[in-house]
Structure 1
Amino acid sequence: MLSKFYSSECFRKGLFTALVFFVFNFVYLAAVIYVVFFNTAFFEKYKLWVGIFSTLMVVIDSFYLFYFLYTLLRENYKLKMSLQKTIVQCDTIKRKLFEITKKEYKRFQNGKKTKMVEIAYFDMLTGLPNKLQLEIFFQRLQQNVSSCFDEIAVIIVDIENLGEFEGSSFCSLASVILKDIGFKLKNGLPEKSFVAKIEDDKFAILFYEYGCRDLLVEYIKIIWEIIEGRWYLVGDEFELKSVVGVAFYPQDGNCIDEILKAATEALKQARLREEKKVYFTSSEDNTKLFYNVSVSNELKKAILQKNFLLVYQPLVDLQKNKVAGAEVFVRWMSPEKGIVSAKEFISIAQKEGMIPEIEEWVLDTIAEDVPAFEEMLPDDFFISLNVSFLDSNVAERIFSNKVFTHYNQYNKMMAFEINQQDIDTNLSDCLRVAEEVKHKGFRIIVDDWCSDNISVDTIRYFAVDAVKVDNRCIENAVFDKSVSVIIKGIIEIAHALKIKVIAKGVETPFHYRVAKELCCDLAQGFLFSKPMVRNEFLEFYRKYKMGLIRVIV
């Protein structure tokens, strides 16, 4: 646009007139200086005319400046109109190209790719679909969105600092990087996605049928892993960073242009962030993401500094009225949030792959506490620890820990809890790990066995020692007689298989009485005690044994 202005007639005329006025003003000023300082007599005689000519020159200069600015603004307006007309013409040409290549595109779908289709629908550098093909694909998704899925996520990814390598010596390297990133995005993201290159350093990615937005965040993490980090090419080392803006159909627009515009605005907001540069058009998603990122960063520091606390909640034998065992819980001692229960951070730790480090700390701490328990507690006392049997390496981690290296010494005291939800997710993997743990002589307890439903297959296929039912199951047994009969029957089946039943979440005397009526063997909950650190638990055990602590039922 500037080159067009410099070559315009307005610029040439303005430049010529400015030079003429400059020469004229320079000559006049030189004449005035000569008359005033070197020809005083002439100046005294004609000083009125000198003043008149000087004023006239100022007026002429002012009018010329006004005229030149007016002409410049008018020419600028003409250039803008010309540019807008050019944009419209380009859009028209693009639509005509679309119409021309329709038949060719159909041939391409049948496997016959032509050069015309390649130019019209694909980026020449990466071979990925371009913006035009993105529009076509989005229109097809729109036709099925009401029947197949609720929304479409549109993500714009900008490689923030790739421009630093686009000089004469790095231009080819930047092209290689873009090709590599395009290939990895296309092959590394799930099947229900569409990757396109829309600008020099920007990619647009559509996600559909992704289930929930938590899973979408996991896909964004995959994008970060592909792009961010250190790159090594031809002896050069450099670090790339990405910025991500996320918008949704139909919340942010009804066509791809509107949604891309919303995603671009989100991209601008993402650039203002100091940490992970991603921004959603939804404030709720941003709040959740920023919280998860904040908790994740704090957890990483907590793992390094070992800012965790191990607590024990007693398991009471309902028939003998004694403390028969304890379940181990981990607490996070956050400098900002205080003592945080595992429910609030364990899901984030699982997503970030921090569970092995936390488990290692828990096992090490149990190793330190076991001698104190052995000294004071009876031989039949046991400690239960909840672990994820979905992790195929959990058994290896357990038995490589120092407290379980000589597992024959601790297999009577330690029991491992497996969640019923894990069994429902992958029965075969959980069964394999359970068999390995059981082979070492440790007890297995199934947590949440009777909560939303009752799984008979668990006690049929698993060599479990105990199962847990929660207070929801107990309450349902009271208010629904048919449920009560079913639960009593299931508990009798468990007892017939020599499986103990633990009532979980016993918080009121009402829960306690119902648990005894249902013939539960053990119970745990706030009615007896909250989770305590080791010394507090040992003191609680001593007082409960001596009868100094009683449960009022």
Structure 2
Amino acid sequence: MKFRNELYILVVLLTGFISFSYMLYAKSLIEADDIFSVGLEGITFLSILFFLMLTIKMKAQKLLVLGCLFVSIGSVLNILDVIEGIELPGFIDVYIENGLFSIGIAMCSIGVFILLNKENEMKRKLKHQATHDSLTNLPNWYMINDYLAGALARCQKSNKELAVMFLDLDRFKFVNDTKGHKAGDLVLKKVAERLAASVRDGHVVARKSGDEFIIVLEDADKASVIATAKRVLKSFKEPFFDTNEEVFISTSIGISLFPQDGNTPDTLIHKADKAMYMAKKQGKNNFQFVKTESDKALTRKVQLESALRKAIQNDELMLHYQPQLELKTGKLKGVEALLRWNHPVFGSISPMEFIPIAEETGIIVQIGEWVIDEACRQNRIWQDEGFTPIRIAVNVSALQFQNSRLIKNIRQTLENYELDPELLELEITESVMHDLEDTFHIFADLKEIGVKISIDDFGTGYSSLSVLHKLTMDYVKIDKSFVQEIWTSPTSATLVKTIIDIGSTMNFKLIAEGIEDEDQAKFLEDNGCHLGQGYYYSRPLPTEEIEVFMKEQMKENSKQISDVAG
């Protein structure tokens, strides 16, 4: 028997609902005409179950159990609630309800197929968007919190272990800043794929935010956690672009364990985050488990980061100046400005401690701009007081070098203090040569302004002869690690000679760092190095003391001139 009720047909047309009734006593299916729109001709009860089996890919035995359920339960039954974790195609939802007689015997079941139900599809999409990261399609921060809470409850009940990994990509900010956000997004997608491939079924990878990811390993002992961490690190060894400019990044991983490190999502994630910072401190590209002793170090780091953001406005930063002398004559030819930080609570803080924090957080750009301004301001004061004009070298981080404000700020600063551009030297590290095209453009702009440029710590980074000869360099600095091993390492002595020869061939002036004794100074002078700095000549001096040093140099120069004239 087929329904011909006009009102029913109208409901079908307006809502997209298709209804059917299965009469138990007759073992037959009464359906609406439009049920054939799903291709189910000659429908029987078993054919409906078979259709559902194909649709949701569930074993027939489980479907038959469901069939029994929906004819025996006297309330609405949503199959989606019963078959948790199985996703139906977007065009269909299934709801089942029973018709009962007063004696309580289930005589029939009435089912409703909801076809092309846009409202339900929209709800699914909105739910997915709320719980998944739009870029990587991984579970997001909110979903992983909920999942972790459930996983902890399960592990607590079954007395099983659980691990939380907190991952932060190394050098990702540099990739984003130098290659653009489009390239950065592509890297994040590839990272998500590699992380998902590195864990076994049942483990969950999520994106927290930015370049931070979380992995939850349920029912995992420490040995399997270590194995997973090693697989993750190994997955980063291949480049992320197979182009002319390959991108290599790594990741630092912090790991917390349930139950020893905590029993709540917040505690485990927080402690894994702390352990990740320890992995960064250990040189990056490694994993660290939670250590109690790391808590104090991390707390100090957080405190220093907060204090560093206020250091400029609170007038806590200062510059010390280390003399650079001509090796043959001993004459002062320049000074290097070195940053110092004196905090009212923490006291004097080593640059080795606060500079990495500044670079990690990006504060280094603001600090670097202050250093350039302060060096130029002080140079102007010295000239106004009658000191001989002197070149001041300032260190420029890779992040500041790539910053779009660099050229404009230098021009403006030199104009503000009416300073000769040749009296400002920018010391850059070899790492800025990672993106050669941008480096060439920035070098050209700087040379147009007229400032001096030097490469710091030459021989320890990325530069090559094929790149150096294309750059209009003024100075090359020989790293102190080579200088201090001249007499203890034949390799270092050979390297120093080679660097000096390269500089001479390419018309760069050589500055040796870290000279500590007369023998080192003599070796460098004999092999053709032009300038030197180090504790053999002077430690970095505050403003008042470097002024005394410069006055003595001026007196010595005047005496030499008088002796020659006499």
**In 1, Cα distance between equivalents of 2:129 and 2:460:** 49
1:198 to 144, 147, 152: 147
Bigger shift: 206-215 or 325-334? 206-215
Q: Deviations over 1:252-276 (max 9, x none)?
A: 46489x9555565364647999x99
Q: Secondary structure at the match of 1:184?
A: coil
Asked if the contact 1:245–1:264 (Cα under 8 Å) also holds between the matched residues in 2, the reply is no
- 2:321 is the alignment partner of 1:312: yes
| Correspondences of 1:9-48 after superposition (within 5 Å) | none
Q: Secondary structure at the match of 1:360?
A: helix
Shift of 1:208: 9.0
- 2:208 is the alignment partner of 1:223: yes
Q: Secondary structure at the match of 1:386?
A: strand
Shift of 1:318: 0.8
Asked if the contact 2:430–2:461 (Cα under 8 Å) also holds between the matched residues in 1, the reply is no
**Residue 187 of structure 1 corresponds to which residue in structure 2?**
136
Distance change >3 Å, CA 491–CA 197, structure 1 → 2 = same
**In 2, Cα distance between equivalents of 1:446 and 1:518:** 20
Asked if the contact 1:364–1:403 (Cα under 8 Å) also holds between the matched residues in 2, the reply is yes
**In 2, Cα distance between equivalents of 1:226 and 1:181:** 19
**In 2, Cα distance between equivalents of 1:117 and 1:366:** 69
| Correspondences of 1:115-514 after superposition (within 5 Å) | 119-121=83-85, 182-184=131-133, 187=136, 197-198=146-147, 223=208, 252=222, 254=224, 259=257, 261=259, 264-265=262-263, 267=265, 269=267, 281-375=290-384, 376-379=386-389, 381-391=390-400, 394=403, 396-400=405-409, 402-405=412-415, 409-423=419-433, 425-451=434-460, 455-481=464-490, 484-514=493-523
Distance change >3 Å, CA 184–CA 451, structure 1 → 2 = closer
Distance change >3 Å, CA 321–CA 286, structure 1 → 2 = same
- Give the gaps of 5 or more residues in structure 2: 1-55, 64-78, 89-123, 153-161, 174-187, 189-204, 229-255, 278-288, 558-566
Asked if the contact 2:431–2:461 (Cα under 8 Å) also holds between the matched residues in 1, the reply is no
**In 2, Cα distance between equivalents of 1:292 and 1:222:** 24
Asked if the contact 2:358–2:364 (Cα under 8 Å) also holds between the matched residues in 1, the reply is yes
- Give the gaps of 5 or more residues in structure 1: 1-96, 105-114, 125-174, 228-243, 549-553
Q: Secondary structure at the match of 2:421?
A: coil
**Residue 237 of structure 1 corresponds to which residue in structure 2?**
none
**In 1, Cα distance between equivalents of 2:353 and 2:528:** 33
- 2:520 is the alignment partner of 1:522: no
Distance change >3 Å, CA 118–CA 499, structure 1 → 2 = farther
Distance change >3 Å, CA 480–CA 343, structure 1 → 2 = closer
Q: Secondary structure at the match of 1:371?
A: helix
Asked if the contact 2:275–2:290 (Cα under 8 Å) also holds between the matched residues in 1, the reply is no
Q: Which amino acid in 1 is paired with 2:456?
A: D
Shift of 1:411: 1.0
**In 1, Cα distance between equivalents of 2:508 and 2:263:** 59
**Residue 184 of structure 2 corresponds to which residue in structure 1?**
none
**Residue 20 of structure 1 corresponds to which residue in structure 2?**
none
Shift of 1:482: 6.0
**In 2, Cα distance between equivalents of 1:449 and 1:536:** 29
Asked if the contact 1:395–1:437 (Cα under 8 Å) also holds between the matched residues in 2, the reply is no
Q: Which amino acid in 2 is paired with 1:198?
A: Y
Shift of 1:473: 1.5
Asked if the contact 1:464–1:499 (Cα under 8 Å) also holds between the matched residues in 2, the reply is yes
Distance change >3 Å, CA 199–CA 223, structure 1 → 2 = closer
Asked if the contact 2:324–2:336 (Cα under 8 Å) also holds between the matched residues in 1, the reply is yes
Q: Which amino acid in 1 is paired with 2:377?
A: E
Q: Which amino acid in 2 is paired with 1:497?
A: M
Distance change >3 Å, CA 205–CA 387, structure 1 → 2 = farther
**Residue 35 of structure 2 corresponds to which residue in structure 1?**
none
Shift of 1:328: 0.8
**In 1, Cα distance between equivalents of 2:331 and 2:474:** 19
**In 2, Cα distance between equivalents of 1:337 and 1:547:** 41
Asked if the contact 2:478–2:496 (Cα under 8 Å) also holds between the matched residues in 1, the reply is no
Asked if the contact 1:249–1:259 (Cα under 8 Å) also holds between the matched residues in 2, the reply is no
Asked if the contact 1:247–1:281 (Cα under 8 Å) also holds between the matched residues in 2, the reply is no
Q: Secondary structure at the match of 2:310?
A: helix
Shift of 1:325: 0.2
Percent identity, aligned pairs only? 22
Asked if the contact 2:333–2:391 (Cα under 8 Å) also holds between the matched residues in 1, the reply is yes
Q: Which amino acid in 2 is paired with 1:315?
A: Q
Q: TM-score, normalised by structure 2?
A: 0.53
**In 1, Cα distance between equivalents of 2:308 and 2:224:** 40
Distance change >3 Å, CA 383–CA 100, structure 1 → 2 = farther
Shift of 1:211: 7.3
Distance change >3 Å, CA 186–CA 123, structure 1 → 2 = farther
Q: Secondary structure at the match of 2:439?
A: helix
**Residue 543 of structure 2 corresponds to which residue in structure 1?**
534
**In 2, Cα distance between equivalents of 1:281 and 1:123:** 38
- Equivalenced residues, count: 367
**In 1, Cα distance between equivalents of 2:379 and 2:403:** 20
Asked if the contact 1:450–1:468 (Cα under 8 Å) also holds between the matched residues in 2, the reply is no
**Residue 38 of structure 1 corresponds to which residue in structure 2?**
none
- Considering only CA atoms, is the larger Rg found in Structure 1 or Structure 2? 1
Q: Which amino acid in 1 is paired with 2:329?
A: K
Asked if the contact 2:375–2:392 (Cα under 8 Å) also holds between the matched residues in 1, the reply is no
Shift of 1:353: 1.7
**In 2, Cα distance between equivalents of 1:285 and 1:118:** 46
